[in-house]
Amino acid sequence: MIKPHGSDTLNPLFVYDVDKHHALQKEAETLPSLLLNSPAASNAVMLGAGYFNPLTGYMNIADGLSVAKDFKTTSGLFWPVPIFNRTDNIDAIKDAKRIALRDPNEEGNPVLAIQDIESIEELTDEQLNTMTTELFTTTDGEHPGATTFLNSGKYVISGPIQVLNFSYFQKDFPDTFRTAVEIRNEIKERGWNKVVAFQTRNPMHRAHEELCRMAYETLKTDGILVHMLLGKLKPGDIPAPVRDAAIRKMVEVYFPPNTVMVTGYGFDMLYAGPREAVLHATFRQNTGCTHFIVGRDHAGVGDYYGAFDSQTIFDDKVPEGSLLIEIFRADHTAYSKKLNKVVMMRDVPDHTKEDFVILSGTKVRKMLSEGKDLPPEFSRPEVAKILMGFYQEQAAKS
């Protein structure tokens, strides 16, 4: 199986030893507390689950700037996105060396992790704007990712962490949330060696389904990891439970047994386009996948990124040998009226514009919100039924 990023073995930061876990829970009640914001909490979950291997905790400003500018930490580790614990209020922790990190997303704010503080630094406006521009190409307040990053706190608290739970993800998504450790174990149990990963924050319409099938067949892989984001999205995106149900139904009906693993991970969407594509590839390597599908406008939002910037970044910014995982580059996908199937447009040079039905998640959402049935070129009927049920329920509430 492919090695994790940056180490020979995966080193999740979750404390699995029962006695040690109990002792840390007890200690946490005596420590100064910091209520995390959602980005810092999701970073802790990802660190605990082994997705951010080989990081041992939150970065300081120097590492964050180095990562934003040069795709590497100050020690030289390849990494695409700063992993921060930021806050605007350090009154309760400014003299502490060890603190309890509390979960903002669970009732009662239980302890999510314990952090040893190496430094507490204050970001300058210049540093914050530099990182935001490097990560998102903009500081525009209309960009949901840039806005979140700009407003996540002026203080950066760096240092290693020990993770004690996985927030709401295990409880709310018991059949779907999986750590990188668990995914590696299941890949091994299934006897897969070559695995292609597919990232999604949306229900999978026909184009997504066929893209997975194309990658599976072209690369001759043993299996497909459908890996959905379970954290926070922007307003208007379809909630995780609905996506989960739709994807599982599509896999159940239209893929052979033991070819697809449907799983999810606990992270908030960044909408960082090319940068996020590289982060997605990095932590899919940590799950044991050998290949990763990067399509048009991967992790994009609005018109902030070029259609294929998330592919060219692997040529321009990812040094040779930095990642072991390989990229499967997908073109625009569309339904061919000539061939009666979804195709990549580059593969059918004999087609004209009139030969295609262009598929779009945005178009699907618009039709559903208007109560229109989805044509079979857009969505499988079993999937459309689940999505329509959700939109009808929303309409009844409003």
Decide if 178 is catalytic. no
Q: DSSP label at 141?
A: T
Q: Which of 201, 206, 243, 275 is catalytic?
A: 201
Q: Which of 85, 202, 286, 380 is catalytic?
A: 202
Decide if 286 is catalytic. no
Instruction: Give kind and range of the element (H or E) at residue 251.
Output: helix 240-254
Best CA proximity match to 297, nearest among 286, 285, 282, 312: 312
Contact at 8 Å (CB) between 218 and 278?
no
What are the strands of the beta sheet with 333-336, ordered from one edge? 341-344, 333-336, 356-358
Beta-bridged to residue 120, according to DSSP, are: 157
How deeply is 21 buried, as exposed, middle or buried, from its count of CB atoms within 10 A (0-12, 13-18, 19+)? middle
CA distance 264 to 51: 12
CA distance 370 to 32: 50
Beta-bridged to residue 358, according to DSSP, are: 334
CA angle centred on 198, ends 67 and 220, rounded to 5°: 115
Q: Could you count the other beta carbons within 10 Å of the beta carbon of residue 147?
A: 17
DSSP 289-322: -SEEEE-TTTT--TTSS-TTHHHHHHHHTS-TTS
CA distance 269 to 144: 9
Cis peptide before 319 (omega within 30 of 0): no
CA distance 389 to 5: 41
* Catalytic residue numbers, as ranges: 201-202
